[in-house]
Amino acid sequence: MGVLRLGHLEVCVTDLDKTLDHYTKIIGLREMDRQGDRVYLRCFDEYDHHSLILRKHDEAGMAYAAFKVESAEDLNQYEAALKADGLAVERLPAGSQYKKGEAVRFRLPTGQLIELYDYMEQPGREVGHLNPDPWPKEKVGIFPTHLDHVLLGGLDVRENIRIFREILGFHLSEQVMGPDGETMVGAFLFRTSTAHDIAFLNAPEDNTMSHFTYWLESKSDIIDAGDILGLNGVPIEAGPDRHGITRGLTIYFRDPCGHRNEVFTSSYLAQADMPPVTWTVEELAPGKKGVFCMTLGGFPETFGTEHSKCF
């Protein structure tokens, strides 16, 4: 009961064709449908209709991040609790969004738009649900299994974290403490059993998104993903590398509109009773292991400073 997972994102793109090529041919998502300015995409292993909406727009950025909840009752309770907390909440009627039921939206204190919804049409996995093959015969590009998490930024993300923990029932897997050793400047939060469905980090600007992330099955897939990016001329911002925080293997790169993507694997099983991990600011400096464990020579200057603006 409650939030199931990060269900989908809507991302605004200024060049739809080029960006669609990036997500379908290089990352290897499946195009599910088009409706007006929007293209609906998902990973081969997902069973809901879509996990990414690319929307043609004159400004790039994440439109909203949507979390699926288990029931209509969850939706009502969250709506009430968010209102009681003083947040402005908008209710979207069923049918107002393609293939989806009712939804509830609110803006975080740092400006990003968050949606909760309890229904999306389920075409089921691409391989079907009766005596299925392990995966489709036709693999394309990096071919991740599913959308994993999103990392949002703001000048002070503590209120975001409080809302996700106290109202939406997220658990804390890892936290980052500021220079005073007491002030939380980042948190990694989960509802599934992966290390994060969403994370927040202090950033130079409000209403920003660092990246959204696709899950790969295996360690060797990270190397293959790097090769596929190289073959297609997509510059790699960082990686292949081992994250200190969340312990996953990672590559950062950008889509043609500048949104940072991540491919990620080999993290750990997170659970509600796990003692959270704490990172102090000393281990986040260049040459320390907080952000990247492998590249101890220093992490990329771009990290955490060029969050894509949302609108």
Would you say 68 and 118 are in contact if contact means Cβ atoms under 8 Å apart?
Answer: yes
The 10 Å Cβ neighbour count of residue 296 is 11
CA distance 88 to 107: 7
Name the residue with tokens 């990694």.
188
CA distance 128 to 135: 10
User: Active site includes 243?
Assistant: yes
Check residue 81 for interaction with a second copy (CB under 8 A): no
Q: Which of 86, 88, 93, 129 binds a second copy (CB under 8 A)?
A: 129
Terminal-residue alpha carbon distance, the chain: 31
Check residue 93 for interaction with a second copy (CB under 8 A): no
Interacting residues of 265 by C-beta distance below 8 A, sequence separation 6+: 215, 216, 217, 218, 219, 221, 222, 248, 249
User: Active site includes 129?
Assistant: no
- Judged by CB under 8 A, the number of residues near a second copy is 73
- State the nearest-atom distance from the C-beta of 215 to a second copy, in Å: 7
Catalytic residue among 79, 174, 252, 307: 252
Query: Is 14 or 192 the residue whose CB approaches a second copy more closely?
Result: 192
User: Active site includes 22?
Assistant: no
User: Active site includes 149?
Assistant: yes
User: Of 11-19, 93-101, 200-208, 244-252, which part binds a second copy (CB under 8 A)?
Assistant: 244-252
Q: Which of 84, 88, 130, 180 binds a second copy (CB under 8 A)?
A: 130
Collapsed DSSP state (helix, strand, coil) of residue 158: helix
> Binding to a second copy (CB under 8 A): which residues in 134-153?
134-135, 137, 139, 145-146
Query: Is 48 or 262 the residue whose CB approaches a second copy more closely?
Result: 48
Catalytic annotation, residues: 149, 196, 211, 243, 252, 262
